[in-house]
Amino acid sequence: MENVIYEVSEGVAVITLNRPQAKNAIDAATAQAIEAAMDRLEADPSVRVGILTGAGGTFCSGMDLKAFLRGEVVVTPRRGFAGIASCPPPVPLIAAIEGYSVAGGFEIALSCDLIVASRAAQFGLPEVRRGLVATAGGMLRIPGLLPPNVAHELVLTGRMASAQEMAGYGLVNRLVDEGEALQGAKALAAEIAANGPVAVRTSKAVMRQSLHWSQDEMFERQDEAARPVFTSEDAKEGARAFAEKRAPRWSGR
């Protein structure tokens, strides 16, 4: 059985963590398979959006502690924990979450750009309860995504939080009924995939990278990144399609 399943349809890649017997926990083989999926996603110009989900009604329960005790390394050299946490792909990535998104599983979700979650989904960073710390992006990303006191509470207590609570703080983009997270993520992906792929990738890059830009340089660096978009074939096609009152035919150039 493959630890990770990669499927593409209509410009959307669905990457499924496929260890339901282990609640999709990350062992060495799974981390390497996720990295390979991210590399494939990044290299394929026909893929405009990626969806990351889990089989068997659970998104991911984090690091496989049995694998950890066996001495397995679940961090890859290029992309970090689970083959994604420290270096997500430039393609927009949606987490489709059913059940538990805990510890490293929550950190994988935080590596994505958008989250669609079942109303029954649960989130948490319980590392401190095991004498560990959330070093796969939890401590780094949560403070910028949630109100500071809420972020501190989640990390320092290790408590679980419902999808409704996380949606209330804006961390979850769309709440859906149980069992419909993947369907909801596909609907959101279709909205993104309908847009100009050059513009979408550049927009993601600017939003991610600008967090580290100073006020003095941010417009200059934004313009540097955006300039090729305005001279692209897609920009010309978008204008022509608008004038001709038809759907654009994007080339990704």
Angle at 130 between CA 88 and CA 121, to 5 degrees: 55
Report how many helices (DSSP H) and strands (DSSP E) the chain contains, helices first.
10, 11
In the prediction, which pLDDT does 234 show? 76
Q: Is 81 exposed, middle or buried (0-12, 13-18, 19+ CB in 10 A)?
A: buried
**What residues pair up with 122 in beta bridges, in sequence order?**
100, 162
* Residue in this structure with the two tokens 């399609």, named with its chain if needed: 241
Is residue 145 within 8 A of residue 211, CB to CB? The reply is: no
**SS3 letters for 137-185?**
CHHHHHHHHCCHHHHHHHHHHCCEEEHHHHHHCCCCCEEECCCCHHHHH
The pLDDT assigned to 232 comes to: 81
In contact, 196 and 49? CB cutoff 8 Å: no
Model pTM score: 0.89
Q: What confidence score (pLDDT) does residue 219 get?
A: 84
The phi and psi torsions of 19 (rounded to 5 degrees) equal -125, 60
Here the tokens at position 141 are 């990303």
Task: Report mean pLDDT in 10-residue bins for the chain, 253 residues.
Answer: 92 96 94 95 93 96 87 92 93 97 96 96 92 87 92 94 95 96 96 90 83 80 79 76 79 79
Q: SS3 for 15?
A: strand
Q: For residue 49, what are the β-bridge partners?
A: 12
Catalytic residues: 107, 127
Q: With 0-12 CB in 10 A as exposed, 13-18 as middle and 19+ as buried, what is 248?
A: middle
Select from 235, 252, 233 the least CA-distant residue to 193.
252
